A = this chain, B = another copy of it.
Amino acid sequence: MGVVVNLDGGFDRKSDLGALAALTSDDLVRVNALIVQAMDSPVVLIPQLAGHIVAAGGKRLRPMLTLAAARMCGYDGDRHIGLAACVEFIHTATLLHDDVVDESDLRRGLASANAVWGNQASVLVGDFLFSRAFELMTADGSIPVLRVLSHASKVIAEGEVMQLTTSNDTGTGETAYLDVIRAKTAQLFAAAGRIGALVADRPKIEEDALETYGMNLGIAFQLIDDVLDFSAKQATLGKTIGDDFREGKITLPVILAFRRGDDEERAFWRRTLEDLDQTEDDLPHAIKLLEKHGALDDTVERARHYGAIARDAMGIFGDTPEKDALIEVIDFCIERAY
């Protein structure tokens, strides 16, 4: 349809994701080509908007998990390409709807799709991508894969609604918070891993292991994302910080600081996050409180815990470069914090 989509987005995959990016790079070229082809439509706004978000969508970590897991499981066919594209489409549809829900103007430093084309188009193109993912899965033809990914989609939506109901509530505890990020983020990592074993027709124990790996990697990934939103390092890289704070999102760093703080501090968190009554001095003050209570460091520690579970889940697999890469990426995800 003549819409040119740049899928690189200036992202240096190799330096950020190490051996995983290198090992999957040939397959990922094919995944990207399929993505461009599958988001085409005679309705030109669709490839325009979808191309914008797919290009801005980041490092393709989730489809890489499917690609590497399938290869690690000895799969040597082509189906993992289409399934990796499905995983990315579900992720992208979620991002589009997320940005509408969060009223975000920026995504990874670029204008968000809703800021450029409006909420209406973002909702509908999200629906298109979501439907397209199910069309691709249907073309693949595996009911077990469809079961994993339709279930993941449902759980993601539940997690997003859960997040909406805990938003701006400083009473949210660590358990409720973990329920949210397990559903909204980690479930898709888990599904991405599991279908790697599924497509290779491996025994259930290997499916379960890759699901556990993905689930715990996903939790660690989200915890570090939450840390980065308050991180000086993130600020140095020219990325915005404080998005979660401004929206009143209750993430683990805040949950820890709220519980470790005194009454005056808790009043601060309530004013800024529940009432959304914020001045420009509040974000620096929030960061000071987080540091005072070691809330950022301890969130990273929690992430290490989940990372360790992910690593141990991989123990049943024989040594392959893909296994090493999948284990290495756990550390990469966590070390982003520094």
A residues sitting closer than 8 Å to B (CB atoms) are 41-43, 45-46, 93-94, 97, 100-101, 119-121, 123-128, 130-132, 134-135, 137-139, 141, 143, 146-147, 150-151, 153-154, 156-158, 160-162, 164-165
Give every chain B residue within 8 A of A135 (Cβ-Cβ): 147, 150-151, 154
- Report chain B residues within 8 Å CB of A101: 119-120, 123-124
Say whether, besides A43-B165, A161-B43, A165-B45, A138 and B123 are in contact (CB < 8 Å): no
A127/B157 contact (C-beta < 8 A), A119-B119, A146-B134 known: yes
Q: For residue A121, which residues in chain B have a CB less than 8 angstroms away from its CB?
A: 161, 164
Could you say which residues of chain B place their CB within 8 Å of the CB of A42? 158
**How many angstroms between the C-alpha atoms of A241 and B139 in the bound complex?**
43
Q: Please give the distance in Å from A67's CB to the nearest CB on chain B.
A: 23
**How many copies of this chain are found per oligomer?**
2
Q: Choose from B125, B151, B162 the contact partner of A157 (Cβ within 8 Å).
A: B125
B154 contacts A132, C-beta separation under 8 Å? yes
Q: Ordered nearest first, which 7 A-B pairs have the shortest CB separation?
A: A131-B153, A128-B157, A131-B154, A134-B150, A127-B157, A101-B120, A138-B146
Complex: A158 Cα to B44 Cα, angstroms: 10
- 7 more A-B residue pairs beyond the given contacts A45-B165, A139-B147, with a C-beta to C-beta distance below 8 A: A46-B158, A100-B120, A127-B157, A134-B134, A134-B150, A138-B147, A143-B143
Could you write out 6 A-B pairs with CB less than 8 Å apart? Answer: A42-B158, A45-B164, A97-B124, A100-B120, A120-B164, A127-B157
